[in-house]
Structures are given as structure tokens and as C-alpha cells.
């Protein structure tokens, strides 16, 4: 039989081991970003495209990191995988769309997260672009912009209308992007993560 442990009387005794902190370690910021990028890719709707907007070499590095993360069951196997030379920058676009989003994640080495989402378009007026950008800003504010990191792409309804309105608005069908009857808006959905 093992004798019970007695508390140490020494003032410089080591604190007790926190098992929870070992079993659920805080993920490396790069691992967290890779997880979020993977979730974005897995959350794409039919016709939505995810593309890195980087030099071919940088895009290849990020793609390789994502592929290696997927192949080792959710974490980087060595803990010291190739560090990307730049922050992730990508676009989410519906095939054939005239309006799309470009997203730039903060450098994973920064302590403050500031995701930048820009509305881009082909042959759209500045006013239309500003209206879409205002919608994005509003959604980011609703979701806690200062503490948000990208999680997944989604199409959210402003009303209970069907998806035809959304598709027509971005691809160039019946509704125009500046039409007040447009009920759907593609935007980046964010997960607010409290940073301690």
C-alpha cells in the first residue's frame, strides 16, 4: 500500500502539475490558422471557390501546410513545420460571380487578431462596392471584429427567401448587386475567440 502524500513545508516547492493544461494545450497560432483555413475549405458551398492570392511559391507553402495538417489527423506532426513566409491571403468566390471577397489573416505571430475582408468586383460601381463593404463591416461588428478569426464561409439569409436571389445577385442574373430586393449576401462568418 502506498503511503499518502504529505504536503511540502518548503516555500520553494514546485506547484502541482496541471493535468488539464497538458491534455488540452493551447494550439500554436499557426495550427489554429491552418485549422480555420481547413474549415473554410470544407464549408464551401457548391460553386464556391477558395484560392490563395499569393505568389506561386507562397501559395504552394500554405497549400503544403494545409495538406500536411490534413494528413496527420489534425495537427502538425513535428510541431515545427515549415513556417509560411507571409500571412495567408485568399479569396472566396462563386464561380462566375461579379462580386467576391478577399480575406487577409493577421500574421500568426501577432498577439492581436485583425482579419481584413475586402469586397472585390468586376464592372461594379464604387457605390455598390461600398454598400457590400458596409454589410461586411456590420457583420464583423456583430460578431466581435477585434477578437475574430476566420472560421468558415457561409451564405446567410437577410430574410426567408430562397437561394435563387443570392445566386442571381452575385452571378449577374435577374437581381443586380445594388438591388434592394437582394436578400442574400455571401460573407465570411467569424468565430470570436477570447484572447487572454
Is the pTM higher than 0.75? The answer reads no
Q: Decide which of 41 and 25 is more confident.
A: 41
99-148: per-residue pLDDT in tens?
Answer: 888 888 887 666 556 778 888 888 888 888 888 888 777 777 776 544 34
Q: Is 114 exposed, middle or buried (0-12, 13-18, 19+ CB in 10 A)?
A: middle
- Please determine, for residue 54, whether its predicted confidence score (pLDDT) is greater than 90: yes
pLDDT score, position 143: 63
Which of the four pLDDT bands, split at 50, 70 and 90, describes residue 55?
very high
- Partners of 92 in the beta sheet? 50, 101
- Please determine, for residue 1, whether its predicted confidence score (pLDDT) is greater than 80: no
Domain 29-69+85-160 has CATH 2.60.40: no
pLDDT score, position 99: 83
Name the region of 176 (left: φ>0; alpha: ψ -120 to 50; beta: rest).
beta
Q: What does the alpha-carbon distance between residue 42 and residue 117 come to, in Å, rounded to a whole number?
A: 19
Q: What does the alpha-carbon distance between residue 173 and residue 169 come to, in Å, rounded to a whole number?
A: 6
For the chain, how many helices (H) and strands (E)? Answer: 5, 6
- Please determine, for residue 46, whether its predicted confidence score (pLDDT) is greater than 50: yes
Amino acid at each position: 500500500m502506498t503511503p499518502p502524500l504529505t504536503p511540502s513545508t518548503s516555500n520553494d516547492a514546485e506547484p502541482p502539475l496541471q493535468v488539464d493544461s497538458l491534455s488540452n494545450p493551447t494550439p500554436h497560432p499557426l495550427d489554429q490558422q491552418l485549422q480555420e483555413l481547413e474549415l473554410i475549405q470544407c464549408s464551401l458551398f457548391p460553386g464556391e471557390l477558395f484560392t490563395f492570392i499569393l505568389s506561386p511559391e507562397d501559395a504552394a507553402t500554405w497549400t503544403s501546410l494545409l495538406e500536411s495538417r490534413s494528413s496527420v489527423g489534425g495537427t502538425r506532426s513535428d510541431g515545427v513545420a515549415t513556417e509560411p513566409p507571409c500571412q495567408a491571403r485568399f479569396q472566396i468566390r462563386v464561380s462566375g460571380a461579379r462580386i467576391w471577397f478577399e480575406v487577409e489573416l493577421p500574421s500568426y505571430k501577432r498577439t492581436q487578431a485583425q482579419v481584413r475582408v475586402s469586397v472585390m468586383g468586376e464592372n461594379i460601381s464604387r457605390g455598390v462596392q461600398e454598400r457590400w463593404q458596409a454589410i461586411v463591416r456590420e457583420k464583423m461588428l456583430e460578431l466581435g471584429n477585434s477578437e475574430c478569426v476566420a472560421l468558415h464561409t457561409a451564405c446567410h439569409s437577410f430574410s426567408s427567401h430562397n437561394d435563387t436571389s443570392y445566386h442571381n445577385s452575385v452571378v449577374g442574373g435577374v437581381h443586380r448587386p445594388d438591388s434592394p430586393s437582394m436578400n442574400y449576401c455571401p460573407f465570411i462568418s467569424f468565430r470570436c475567440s477570447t484572447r487572454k
